Amino acid sequence: MSRVFVTGMGAVCAGGRTPEEILATVEGGRTVIGPIALFDTTGYPSNLAGEIVGLELRSLVPDRKLLKVIRRTDVFGIYAATAAVEAAATAAWRDTLDDAARAQFADRFGCYAGSGGGTFDTQYDFFPLITEAHGEMPAFGRELGNVVNPMWLLRSLPNNVLCHVSINHGLKGANACITHHSISGTLAIVEAFEALRTGEADRAVAVGHEAPIEPQNVLYYHRAGLYASGPLTPFDASRTGSLFGEGAGALVLETEAAAAERNATRHGEVLGSGSTSDAEGLLAIGDDGAGMADAIALALDNAGLAARDVGMVVAHANGTRNSDRTEALALVRTFGRDMPPVTGFKWAFGHLLAASGAVETALALLALRNGRVPGIATLETLDPACEGLNVSREARAPRSGVALVLSRGFGGTNTALLVRT
């Protein structure tokens, strides 16, 4: 099977508008999580999130007509994917080809998009009319076509990013839209990776995107006991939960032959992946960390590596008590006392849900290239339940050029992705 390389990267979140800017925020020990401005949080149990403050969506996607038929999350996804494709410089090379070669280029270039499947804001167009109709369905039905935007359905589609990125860049190859909560971005990379190494495509862009900062999401996460009342402090004894962030991350992947054909810059290589389910329930996760440990074992086997080959770990590190504790158990089970430096990024810009795996993979590759594993600046006192975890406030050197990136989602899902520089 073909080796698969990363030739372009793009990302946006509260920490910055490029992977380099976001990593600089993390390395600077700064958290950009702050008060929510997207809606009135008066009376809410928490008003904190990693919101991209003062953002004009047109600065990310200038097309006014397109902005009318897509949502905030789609803007992030289209921006990150476009940035990755432009960074890979595939269009300039395509323009040197003859007609037949250009057609083959399009047919062999895939697109994989991961999203959370939509948030509650898709319902909000109906609220004024529901109020006006006093709950009477006939009155609601009579006025529905006059009040609700006729583009509502198009704006609500979970595959908007997949469609518009493919249309904008003429990508006609293998594709998929993945809606699997906060492992979606990682799975987009995994599906693209498998398509390339098994010959379904020569190139692909993989993107994860999410914009979860809206009233119902925040309220329901709080009621589920998952939303933090203060800072996001993964693995810390004082942690109270997670906090939302918004944004997107994208990678352009190419087979070894495709990258060599155009002498492309290689930012790293995707090595292997593993995915498991704890199968305990929608919110419950296994108490012993076995599900995540099994995902890591599958990834190592898929990549043909041993645990000792891993140079750094980017943990899911979302700040919820049970997830952090069982993730630590999984890492101790995998590495024992010979654990590489472990870090996490969500403390700085929030939990990006479906976008988290894609953004954090890009940051992992940059961290490896820079030879520094960033510390977790909000860590004060390691929770005794996370004993044995090789985590620190300070930056350290990776012990090899291989990074393990972990993601978890509702339903007890776990993913492990291995990359190297």
pTM for the model:
0.96
Q: Say whether pLDDT at 185 is over 70.
A: yes
Q: Which two tokens stand for residue 211?
A: 């914009």
Between CA 315 and CA 304 the distance in angstroms is 21
For range 165-181, the mean pLDDT: 96
Between CA 239 and CA 256 the distance in angstroms is 43
Three-class SS state of 26: helix
Residue type at position 156: S
Q: Say whether pLDDT at 125 is over 80.
A: yes
* CB 419 within 8 Å of CB 362: no
Last residue within a domain, chosen from 129, 153, 177: 153
The model's confidence at residue 220, banded by pLDDT at 50, 70 and 90, is very high
Which tens digit of pLDDT belongs to each residue from 278-315?
A: 988 888 899 999 999 999 999 999 999 999 999 999 99
**149 and 12 share one domain:** no
The model's confidence at residue 40, banded by pLDDT at 50, 70 and 90, is very high
In residues, how long is the chain?
Answer: 421
Last residue within a domain, chosen from 138, 153, 168: 153
CATH number, domain of 391, equals 3.40.47.10
Residues 6+ apart with CB under 8 A from 69: 151, 154, 155, 160
Q: Say whether pLDDT at 147 is over 90.
A: no
**183 and 270 share one domain:** yes
Which tens digit of pLDDT belongs to each residue from 310-365?
A: 999 999 999 999 999 999 999 999 999 999 999 999 999 999 999 999 999 999 99
**22 and 130 share one domain:** no
What is the total count of domains within the chain? 2
Last residue within a domain, chosen from 101, 132, 153: 153
**244 and 133 share one domain:** no
For range 252-268, the mean pLDDT: 97
What does the pLDDT read at residue 145?
82
**313 and 363 share one domain:** yes
Between CA 305 and CA 274 the distance in angstroms is 13
Q: Tell the residue number behind the tokens 């992705």, with chain if given.
A: 417
- 356-370 vs 19-27: helix crossing angle, rounded to 10: 70
Which helix (H) or strand (E) segment is 93 a member of?
helix 90-94
**10 and 84 share one domain:** yes
Between CA 238 and CA 217 the distance in angstroms is 23
Mean of the per-residue pLDDT values of the chain: 95
Between CA 50 and CA 15 the distance in angstroms is 8
Pairing of strands 268-277, 203-210: unpaired
For range 42-69, the mean pLDDT: 93
For range 86-100, the mean pLDDT: 95
Residue type at position 68: K
Cross-strand pairs, 218:
none
* CB 262 within 8 Å of CB 92: no
What does the pLDDT read at residue 129?
86
> What is the distance in angstroms between the CA of the first residue and the CA of the last residue of the chain?
19
Residue type at position 240: T
Q: Say whether pLDDT at 260 is over 90.
A: yes
- Name the residue with higher pLDDT: 210 or 130: 210
Nearest to 94 by CA among 6, 172, 174, 155: 172
Q: Say whether pLDDT at 149 is over 90.
A: no
Residues 6+ apart with CB under 8 A from 400: 309, 310, 311, 340, 420
- What does the DSSP assignment read for 67-88? HTTS-HHHHHHHHHHHHHHHHH
Quote the domain boundaries for residue 148: 121-153
**214 Rama sector, left if φ>0, alpha if ψ -120 to 50, beta otherwise:** beta
**385 and 298 share one domain:** yes
**136 and 191 share one domain:** no
Between CA 61 and CA 58 the distance in angstroms is 5
Cross-strand pairs, 397:
none
Give the CA count within 13 Å in the CB-facing half-sphere of 326. 21
Q: Say whether pLDDT at 244 is over 80.
A: yes
Between CA 367 and CA 361 the distance in angstroms is 10
**145 and 243 share one domain:** no
Residue type at position 104: Q
Which tens digit of pLDDT belongs to each residue from 382-414?
A: 999 999 999 999 999 999 999 999 999 999 999
Q: Which two tokens stand for residue 19?
A: 């992977």
Between CA 245 and CA 36 the distance in angstroms is 10
**134 and 188 share one domain:** no
Identify the burial level of 136 via C-beta atoms within 10 angstroms of its C-beta, where 0-12 means exposed, 13-18 middle and 19 or more buried. exposed
**185 and 223 share one domain:** yes
**301 and 392 share one domain:** yes
For range 23-40, the mean pLDDT: 97
The model's confidence at residue 118, banded by pLDDT at 50, 70 and 90, is low
Nearest to 339 by CA among 347, 348, 329: 329
Task: State percent of the chain over pLDDT 70.
Answer: 100
Residues 6+ apart with CB under 8 A from 246: 13, 14, 49, 50, 51, 52, 72, 73, 76, 210, 211, 212, 213, 350, 352, 355
Cα–Cα distances in angstroms (integers) from residue 253 to residues 37, 304, 351, 417, in the given order: 36, 20, 24, 14
